[in-house]
Structure 1
């Protein structure tokens, strides 16, 4: 916490922006690293106890039987690896070695890591996670209300009601929570990497607009392929 407070004072001093001019969200993200740790844990638990479990043939959370189980298991395994990588990436954003290449790395050791090199992929992942969760929840609710009919392929046996409930109560909320934790971590990283508050505020407005449009696009793409 002390180190974060020092970083915060340095950034504010460089920009000549009094601390009291920051809003509550900016103060929170500047000094909080726990979203990064929680995001790492959130990703790790999901990867191990959901994706790797299902890759090993686990049936909990599976609403039926796949037509090609081996391909489904491999897809779950790959997804688990990717999710674990994303979790470790959040640790990278809150640790000192996320800003400077370790000295033991040949040639480039000790060099500062460009902020945008880590920030852009994190923000892109955040947008996908949240848009995925929002669009999934909206379309599943529309299905329950009989406004649309969702057709899922690739299953030899499928309990549609079970699939919808698992998505609504477990899978899609995980995506949204993971996206929020990643977004908070990215905002903290941007602040402690020297990006000005004024630039962050403009960027946040643009990003939220982009997130809204992306979520709307996901919903449209899902509904446009369904039977209404």
Structure 2
């Protein structure tokens, strides 16, 4: 008897990245810890007047801005934890009126991926431009400082701060990939979206580098 018409189409074979992100939730927890460390030991510490990692004196008001940035970073870290929990895909039972409703994945993925792109582009562009600055190839204007040791700031950025952005972006990106697969995104769409997203991050990074070098803010 011919059963060819009854055959179920086979699922596409997952590559190593897809297999990893399909089951790995630890990047969310690592990213949350990474965010908390930076928020507490960099942003909150410096906003309280700590001098380690501060190659100068900020203008009035920028210390509060640093504190606010720390709060936002902590919140972003907690969001990563939410992405690996079931209630980020289906509204919990304790929410009235809409309990049990499926959450559209793009509502979660779009802001997460935009933040991820910013983190990676910020970090990579910062590393590139600070290296060029230290090599004497470019000059950069640093607003917000009353007194500043430019070389010291560039070294702190190059070795500590900008790598933090890149690593945080990687954790966020891996978590977003897990969420997309846990939300049953079709694998073909997942693959196309991943390639398009990487192209977007590349273009955004390029824009950031050019913006820093040519100081678009003064145009």
Q: TM-score, normalised by structure 2?
A: 0.92
Task: State which of 184, 194, 200 in structure 2 corresponds to 1:204.
Answer: 194
Please identify, of 57-66 and 173-182, the stretch whose mean Cα deviation from structure 2 is larger. Answer: 57-66
Question: Among residues 41, 47, 55, which one is paired with 1:63 in the alignment?
Answer: 55
Distance 2:21 2:118 in 1: 21
Query: Structure 1 regions of 5+ residues with no counterpart?
Result: 1-13
Please give the TM-score of this superposition, normalised by the length of structure 1: 0.88
Structure 2 partner of 1:17: 11
In structure 2, the partner of 1:5 is none
* Alignment correspondent of 2:142: 152
User: Is the Cα contact below 8 Å between 1:103 and 1:110 reproduced in 2?
Assistant: yes
Deviations 1:163-206 (A, max 9, x none): 00100011000000000000000001001101011111111111
Q: CA RMSD in A?
A: 1.4
In structure 2, C-alpha distance between the alignment counterparts of 1:122 and 1:204, rounded to whole Å: 14
How far is 1:100 from its partner? 1.4
Runs of 4+ in 1 over 2 A off after TM superposition: none
Q: 1:63–1:163: 8 Å Cα contact kept in structure 2?
A: yes
Q: Which ranges in structure 2 are unaligned for 5 or more consecutive residues? A: 1-7
1:36 matches 2:28 = yes
Mapped contact 1:15–1:196 kept (Cα < 8 A): no
Say how many residue pairs are matched. Answer: 209
Residue number in structure 2 paired with 1:10? none
Structure 1 pair 222–202 and aligned structure 2 pair: CA distance change class (3 A): same
